[in-house]
Structures are given as structure tokens and as C-alpha cells.
Amino acid sequence: MRVYVALVGCTCLLGLTAACSGGFGVMVLGGAPDTRQADVQAVKDLEAAWLNDAALKDPARFASYYAEDALALSPNAPLVAGKNKIQAGLTSLMADPNFALTFHSTRVEASQGGDMVYAIGAYSRTVSDPKSRQPVTDRGNYLTVWKKQADGNWKVVTDMDNSELPAAGAAH
């Protein structure tokens, strides 16, 4: 009997040890699997595709990464609400012959609940100067919030950039 009790006790302890070390899959509160690593990788993959699509200068394709109710926040510009309005703004921006955009995330984190991911990174955007029509490059940082949609796809719900260039007329 003692051997049986000891064997059952060791088996339980071994199972508890494996569960705590992730041997049986990491679980989060509520018993759901922890998908954070997969969610982060999914968003990194989407960002890579999004960057490639930026080079195509296709506003509809670029805007396809946004949720219908997305918000875009840019320096010295009003808030743009909605995928269609964001696409409309991209249409004139991407028509600029000097338009170029690159970006790369430096930090991507997922919520424990598996429905939100944020990415922080750096960008470089070139457009034509309105007066001289010469290319002007802006560099800065961005924050993009991705939300898992009902269909399981990730879409951008908030996109914000912060230029490192001094604002026109700012006191130095």
C-alpha cells in the first residue's frame, strides 16, 4: 500500500512539475492556452507583408490592413477615423512621385487574452516638399495596435506616428 501511495504521489508531483514548466502547454487564466508568441509572430509577419505592400503605392491594398473603425493619428494632422477615410488620405499621399515608406518594429507584445498586439518601431517616410517638389524625408517612431477580428484575422485598430523632426515654428 505504501508503495502505491508513494507511486501516486510521485506521479502527481511529476505532472504538476511538467505543467508548471510548460511541459503540457502553457496555460493562462481561465484555462485557455497562451498564444502570445504565436500572436506576436503573426503580427510580425503581417508587418513584413504590409511593408512590402507600401512599396506598391496601392492605397486600397495598404488600407486593407486596417479595421473598418480604425484610427490614424499623425503629427500636425487631425484624427482620421475609419478605414475608408484612411484610404482616401493614402490615395493622395501615395500618388506623390517621391513617396516612399519603410518601417520596422523594435518591440511587439501580445495581450495575455490573445486579442490585442501592439508594435512599436521606427519609420522613414519620404514625400515631396509642397513648395520645391524636392523629396523630404521624415523619420520617427510609431505605435500600431492590432486587434484579432471575429474571423481570426489581425487588423490595425490604431496607428500613430511621432516625427523626430522639429515642428515648424517650434521654439528651440
Q: Domains of the chain, with CATH numbers?
A: 35-163 (3.10.450.50)
Percentage of the chain lying above the pLDDT 90 cut: 75
Instruction: Note the pLDDT of residue 19.
Output: 42
pLDDT above 70 for 143? yes
Residue with cell 485557455: 32
Q: 29 falls in which pLDDT band (50, 70, 90)?
A: low
What is residue 67's predicted lDDT score, i.e. its pLDDT?
98
Give the residue from 99, 162, 171 showing the smallest Cα distance to 135.
99
What average pLDDT does the chain have?
86
Mean pLDDT of the 77-99 span: 97
> How far is residue 90's CA from residue 56's CA, in Å, rounded to a whole number?
12
User: How confident is the model at residue 140, as a pLDDT?
Assistant: 97
Q: How many whole angstroms separate alpha carbon 146 and alpha carbon 49?
A: 14
pLDDT tens track for 98-142 = 999 999 999 999 999 999 999 999 999 999 999 999 999 999 999
Q: Where are the alpha helices (DSSP H) in the chain?
A: 2-20, 36-54, 59-63, 83-95
Residue 109's SS3 state is strand
Beta partners for residue 122, in sequence order: 104, 141
More confident call, 123 vs 8 = 123
Amino acid at 65: Y
- Please indicate whether residue 76 or residue 7 has the higher confidence score (pLDDT): 76
